[in-house]
Amino acid sequence: MGELVFIGLGLFDEKDISLRGIEEAKGADFVFVELYTSLLAGFSLNKLENLIGKEIIPLTRRDLEDENGEEIIDKAENGRVAFLVPGDPLIATTHVALRIEAEKRGIKTKVVHSASIISAAIGLSGLQNYRFGRSVTIPFSDGDFISRTPYEVIAENRARDLHTLCFLDIDAENGRYMRINEALEILLSLEDEIGKKVISAKSLAVGVSRAGAEDSVVKAGAIKDLLAFDFGKPPHTLIIPSENLHFMEAEALRVLADAPKWVEELIK
């Protein structure tokens, strides 16, 4: 039987792939890539093809979700396939499902890990990773409907004195990537609608843009101030901290994320 190797591409461009990832891709009979689960802002498919010396076949959301990755599975049943994925390969549940299906069909699988926005955004913020609760995606609004899930997750985490990492929705096929100010507007709209006083315009938030790039931006401040802050090009990530901070977290936000002095009042 064949083999399917999941290879992480990291956060920003084709140079973020590991040496092990390059080695595995070079040894594959077929190399596939998906670029819809996250935006690699500096990524060049041609440069990566030159790096590994092979053609790379792009896959769409439809290929992987609607058709259950059958093209990859078919090739991996009798050959060696490398599947390149933004960030760390198994963060997206779609990829986990693909790995499960491959193993069930007797196809050997392997994982070559890489940097993930989960660890990168938390690390860049200076907030302590063990104080993060459940993460959540803030989706684009569908007409007048706005999902309440992000608000509810933030409420649950804050009730437990935990921070919330918020992924921002993307629609890669239409070139649409949610920005931090848009996500904050959605959260404030949900506060107006639900009214449980989970967040307000004065609440602390941390925005991270283009993690992994040389021009990445990390900025902490009141939501009302971040609404007007220019984080530049996507991808963007948002953190809603707990109402209480450890003294080292407050210092990290001041030094690393240009937070206002009043964050020191949140130290407990």
Mean pLDDT of 248-254: 98
37: CB partners within 8 A, 6+ apart: 85, 86, 87, 92, 94, 170
Within 10 A of 174 (CB to CB), how many other CB atoms are there? 7
pTM for the whole thing?
0.94
Checking if the pLDDT of 68 tops 90, the result is no
Q: What is the CATH number of the domain that holds 241?
A: 3.30.950.10
Mean pLDDT check: name the lowest of 19-28, 57-66, 150-159, 234-243.
57-66
| DSSP string covering 100-139 | HHHHHTT-EEEEE----HHHHHHHHHT--GGGB---EEEP
Residue 1 has pLDDT above 80, yes or no: no
173 lies in the same domain as 151: yes
Last residue of a domain, which of 112, 137, 158? 112
Q: Where are the beta strands (DSSP E) in the chain?
A: 3-8, 30-34, 57-59, 80-85, 108-112, 136-138, 164-168, 170-171, 176-177, 204-209, 217-222, 236-240
Q: How sure is the predictor about 141, in pLDDT bands with cuts at 50, 70 and 90?
A: confident
Same domain, 203 and 141: yes
Range of the domain at 25: 3-112
- State how far the alpha carbon of 223 is from the alpha carbons of 142, 183, 185, in Å: 23, 10, 9
- pLDDT attached to residue 66: 86
Q: What is the pLDDT of residue 145?
A: 84
DSSP 234: S
The number of domains in the chain is 2
The last residue of one of the domains, among 82, 112, 142, is 112
Name the residue type at position 93.
T
Domain boundary (112, 127, 145) is at: 112
| β-sheet bridge partners, residue 258 | none
Examine the domain organization and report whether 151 and 25 are in the same domain.
no
Question: Is the domain of 121 the same as that of 97?
Answer: no
When pLDDT is averaged across residues 200-211 and rounded to a whole number, the result is 98
Quick one: pLDDT at residue 181?
A: 97
- What pLDDT is attached to residue 209? 98
91 shares a domain with 37 = yes
pLDDT higher than 90, residue 17: yes
3-state secondary structure of 19: helix
Distance CA 197, CA 158 (A): 11
**87-116 pLDDT tens trace:** 999 988 889 999 999 999 999 999 999 999
The H or E element containing residue 187 is helix 180-194
- Asked whether the CA dihedral 98, 104, 110, 115 is positive or negative, the reply is positive
- The rounded mean pLDDT for the chain is 95
Please give the pLDDT value at position 49: 97
